[in-house]
Amino acid sequence: MRLVLGQSLTLVGAGVALGLLGAFGATRAVASLLYGSALDPLSFIGAPLGLVAVAVLATLPPALRASRIDPIVALRET
């Protein structure tokens, strides 16, 4: 289960990191178009946490199913 969750959360972590870098880079370009601050901490914290939560909920059923498979049966079928 740890393997399946780890693989998916690695991809999600990389996507969140790239997205945050892009968002920080875009704040200068759109700062003049926005009302208030372009660096809203609630948005920069809430959106990535929401994405990680959705990724965990989406990955949990396949991870649980994979953890119920007998390792010997899985190795013989590969």
pLDDT tens digits in sequence order for the chain, 78 residues long? 888 889 999 999 999 999 999 988 888 888 777 777 777 888 889 999 999 999 999 999 988 988 888 888 888 886
* Beta carbons of 62 and 4 less than 8 angstroms apart: yes
Tell me how many domains the chain contains: 1
Tell me the residue range of the domain where 71 lies: 2-77
| pLDDT of amino acid 78 | 65
Task: For residue 71, give Cα distances in angstroms to 28, 57, 78.
Answer: 52, 24, 11
Q: What angle do CA 41, 39, 44 make, to 5 degrees?
A: 40
Half-sphere exposure in the Cβ direction for 21 (13 Å, CA):
6
